[in-house]
Chain A
Amino acid sequence: MSMVFGVPLAVLSGQLMIGIINGAFYALLSLGLAVIFGLLKIINFAHGAMYMLGALVTVVLFDLLSVNYWVALFVAPVLVGAFGLLIEYFLLRRIAGQDHIYSLLLTFGAALIIQGVLTNIYGVSGLRYSMPDMFKGGINLGFMFLPYYRAWVIVVALLVCFGTWFIIEKTKLGSYLRAGTEDSQLMQGFGINAPLLVSLTYGFGVMLAAFAGVLAAPIYSITPVMGSNILIVVFAVVVIGGMGSIGGAIITGILMGVIEGLTKTFYPPASSAVIFLVMVVVLMIRPTGLFGKEA
């Protein structure tokens, strides 16, 4: 067996792959946060809860209506996205234009409610969602075993990330979004319905989180608190990447997943803390983050 720095190659590449997968989730979630932040200037503290809802809705749909994975992949984000629209309309809109700290606190409260209610219904022990049949098994690459589902997660997450980047940076709709980021009042002066755009942006960001949740359902343990744990890591990823760029969020997400995977291989005790350590170092060297533009 070939060894790399005293670690078997299979173990190393296995951890690397898990790292890339976690990184794909970080990327999807920090991307959603960045999109919402861009236009609403809100840090959506309920983002983790939306991710959790995506996974939970997938399980519940399957248990109650035996809705299969492929349908859930579309239905769950739409349902959760609609829920996000309600939150935007009934809560966030009321404090639009006020200090951004209040929206952070508001979404934090909303996350507590969602998480608490669901904990009472489903407990914290974790629900299971069985893998769709076509994803069972995997392929032997010679140096490692690659389960089909994990390959699928990586591919689809990258596609969605790229698609979002493309929409925002290269299309007309994206140019409206970016204009709204710069000066939403001026944009409204040009006859663009800014409040609608804000609602849709929030809904879209929430959908991204829920989509990540559906992807996570077959491989992670599904509990009402799964979102809050990952959210803080994603916050750190966002701080490391800086809020300035969509592409930055994606790259940093995957990079941090890989670093976490490597740490798990070489020094396991630090694996849950390493991203925060990276954040400290980045803050010391480049306070605006790796890709950040804001002062």
Chain B
Amino acid sequence: MTLRQKLILLSTVSKGLMAAVLLLVLPWAVQTLVLRHTDATLRTELRQVQARIQEVGIEEFLPQGNRPRRTHYDLLQDEFIDLQAAATGARGRDTIGTFARPRQGGLVDFRVLRHHTQFRGRPYTVEIGKSIASIEEVYDLLRRLAAYALVFAVLTTLLFELGVISYLLRPFDYIVERLRAVQGPTLPELPPLHTSTSDFQYLDGSIQQMLAKLQSVFDHERQFIANTSHELLTPISILQSRFENMLRAETLPEDAELQLVTSQKTLQRMTATLRTLLLISRVENNQFARQERVLVREVLAEVAAELEDRIGEEELTVHWEMAGEPVLDPANRTLLFTLFFNLLSNAVKYNQPGGRIDLRGHGEPDGTYRLTIRNTGRPIPAEHLPQVFDRYSRFDEAAAEGYGLGLAVVRSVTQLHGIAIAVTSDAARGTEFVLRLPEPVSGAGRVGAAKAMG
């Protein structure tokens, strides 16, 4: 769940709760308010009646003879005023309550204010009433009004908050976008982040600091590799040239000649190792740009052509069963050549004479491409399988043969290209490398305009 969704959810839930509580409380509150208002009205009316009695005397209000008489002010009989002589001793405070009173032949609930008074020494009881039905109309109206206001308030604040949340969180998307743009050790110049939220400024600042540190680590390593490269390759270069010059001398004794050739060979092995180590470092230091669109089949065919003599010498057969046209994009063609060269030359080196190499591949539903390179050689023992991609892992100590650095290069190059690689090996099926090539990023890159490395 994203932060935005959570905030929206929080806001919605809190509003919902508030609305629910209000809806529960409102009827009661409105009712209380309306009743209180009614009671106040009744009291006002009582005062008016008392004033009237003082003015015109009580007779006008009293029932004539034995027939009780009521004065109704309105046609609908929603209100009444009733004055009766009371039994002596009927005194006390005013009471207000809801009582049933006859109206048009039936009993109807009224809100009634009963008041005991004395006029010229005789006690009277005054009742002023208002029908509950008429009160409830007002009450209904108020309740509906309150509900509408509530819904309106909830919806408008919710919409407003959605807008504000989106606006507030916009810098977050922006920061993520900028981070996504960081690929490899050369960091793009990031424009300053415009936000008034100090948290985001803090986050952005920390990220920038981290990136700067990362950059300096990359720079240092790059510098280190360059220096090492220079410091080690220069003396090797001197030795190699010296050996070559010495070998040209015509007066050299034969055994000295042989020793020189042997030394040269040792030096050559050292050079190859050093170059490979530097290559791995450079790949891991991201010094290789991936800017090309590479047709994998084409590179494999090139590698196979490069190895044709060895394949022929070992009388191996290569079986191609590749469906479709796998493409790596963006990619570095030179590195991919090295990758497949190492895998295929291993498949040749560790094969048995007359064996076979299978190159199979097919596209997967998720857009990736599954490529397998299998050879019919001696299997790698299961306990060595997890280490084959490590630098200098040897799978057969006795034979003193190893994958050396070749598969370490393979691992670096596959990692750089986002290719997943796995290896299985058993006596029945031989050794199989499975590569899962990622879906090409369409549009970018151009087809293999690589200037191959020397």
A and B from one complex: no
Q: Which B residues have a C-beta under 8 Å from some C-beta of A?
A: none
